[in-house]
Amino acid sequence: MRLINIILADDHPIYRDGLEQALIRLGIAGTITHASSGVEVLDVLDLIVVYLILMDAKMPNLNGLETTSLIRKKNTKIKIIIISMLEDKLSILQLFHAGINGFMHKNTDHRQLLHAIDWVMKDNILVPDEVSEYFNYEYIIPENFEESFNDPNKLSDREAEILLLICKQLSTKEIADKLSLTYKTVETHRNNIMVKTRAKNMVGLAFYAISKGYIKHKKKK
């Protein structure tokens, strides 16, 4: 892997220092710049060329979600990996829809960090276990994602039922068998659900189902 310019964004300097030492040992960093907030990240981007941002989700003066959204308005090429203790499914999905390239937890070891950076720099998406079932790796991030949803009340009871089964990754045939419906009927319901939610793929349907309360998500204790 070629040497790359990296921003380390976290409001805890001790963690940033440890991460910098890890990157130095891995031998992949060109310039390493520190930032303690999203505002500082944006300031650095105005000054130097950066290829990768390793950023916490929770920071003062623009958090990871807000910072990512602002960066993506100007630059879609910079790779952004969130390194956080965040476990909430909806929050993680929101980060991906804002435009991050990967998510990993802070208890990651050096070998996993190197793999993650190499993976993302090769234009892949690094997905954590919490939301992996919602992803296919060819998805497209839609613009104004949250604002694109229609009124959830427009889903019929049957459509809501099928939505939940889709989110459990049941195929059209499996849903038809489970609900004693014809394959064609389920396909019609699936098409109606896609139109009403304006979701473009499985990730969109999952985000819709969670954000509108069809799927209950709980934080791990």
Q: Which of 122, 124, 137, 105 shows the shortest CA–CA distance to 203?
A: 137
Give 205's pLDDT tier (boundaries 50, 70, 90): confident
- Average pLDDT for 73-86: 92
Q: Give the separation between CA 101 and CA 97, rounded to whole angstroms.
A: 10
pTM over 0.85: no
Strand runs (DSSP E) across 98-219, as ranges? 102-105
> 115: helix, coil or strand?
helix
Is 135 in contact with 127 (CB distance < 8 Å)? yes
73-106 in b/e form (b: 16+ CB < 10 A) is: eeeeebbbbbbbebebbebbbbbbbbbbbbbbee
Is the four-CA dihedral 156, 161, 167, 172 of positive or negative sign?
negative
Domains of the chain: 4-134 (3.40.50.2300), 146-211 (1.10.10.10)
171 — phi, psi (to 5°)? -75, 170
**Does residue 148 have a pLDDT over 80?**
no
What is the pLDDT at residue 145? 40
pLDDT band at 37 (very low <50, low <70, confident <90, very high): very high
pLDDT, position 147: 44
